[in-house]
Copies of this chain bind each other. A is one copy, B any other.
Amino acid sequence: MPVSLGALATQFGCELIGDPDVEVGNVASLQNANAQSLTFLSNPAFKEQLSSTKAAAVILRPADAEDSPVTALLHDDPYACYARMAGVVCPPPAFEPGVHASAVVDPSASVASSAHLAPNVVVGANSRIGENVYVGPGTVIGPDCDIGDDNRFIANVTLARAVRIGKRGIFHPGVVLGADGFGNAMTPEGWVKVPQVGGVEIGDDVEIGANTTVDCGAIEDTVIEDGVRLDNLCMIAHNVRVGAHTAMAAMSGIAGSTIIGKRCMFAGKGGAVGHITICDDVIVGAMSFATKDITEPGTYLASFPAEPAKDWAKKVGRFRRIEALQKRVKKLEEK
């Protein structure tokens, strides 16, 4: 959506060095920008590309202003400023209100007249779809769900049942919310299923990535607080609580009943065992998992970087022989 630099600068409180009437209509990298592009310089590693950019305008820190060969938008956090401006230049796709003829809505459900139900959407009994909600093709909203205003379900999302969502969320294809938690009691006759009767409660401004699953609670709800970001293929088990503004990179998994604080970050394939509490502002590293309560903010790790197989094999061999080494030291000490 073409927008003038002056309008952007005013809306997001930037100083503008250049012509406020120039319009930008796309976003691009410094290197590939054209005369309609808005771009940004945040990571100093890309500074060398600044001098040759063909962008209409670049968002950068005040200290970099004089090096810009094009119109500059000055901001102390160019990446966050870019995120906001790009949201104006490249807004999410518009949609028409209405229910496609192939959508199937239970008579007991309610759908706001401003909502869009795409082909093959199914809405179950007693569910409510709020204002300006986009429900993409193939999405199934099961029974007893409550979907607040301005949510977007891109396509083929499934809400099994009893999922309540605040406002302005984005749910990518393949997301499954509210499926049964993994509750089983062992008996001499084998596993007996423990009925999973809780729901899922999701706050405002939550985004959940493709094929991620958030199970319903066993008795009470699984909770995802405001502003949480879950990447693709993550797993949130029953009765977990994920604190506000916590972000998890792809393939992270949190086992049942664990409480995650606010503003935590999990790197890819991170995780936590069940029934523990992790305080606010904790970072769990890639392929690492927390096994007990964490009460101090900070970074927690437990993984090794891959190295050449021969070197790794030697290290593993030595690791296996630490005991022998201990014995040799003990023998020396006894002498």
Contacts and interface: CB of A to CB of B under 8 A. Distances in A.
Interface residues of A, number: 124
Interface stretch (A60-68, A107-115, A170-178): A170-178
Interface in A288-328: 288-292, 296, 298-309, 312-316, 318-320, 322-323, 325-326, 328
A128 interface: no
A273 interface: yes
A193 B268 CA distance: 19
B87 A193 contact: yes
A287 interface: yes
A274 to B, nearest CB: 8
Nearest to A309: B299
Given A93-B143, A174-B213, A286-B289, A158 B156 contact: yes
Contact of A301 (B86, B182, B301, B307): B307
Interface in A4-27: 26-27
A160 interface: yes
A192 B84 contact: yes
A179 B184 contact: no
A120 B93 contact: no
A306 B302 contact: yes
Given A100-B104, A307-B302, A323-B314, A210 B215 contact: yes
21 contacts: A32-B220, A80-B186, A80-B187, A84-B192, A91-B195, A142-B154, A158-B210, A170-B180, A172-B179, A173-B179, A180-B207, A182-B229, A182-B250, A190-B227, A193-B207, A299-B309, A300-B307, A301-B308, A302-B307, A322-B325, A325-B326
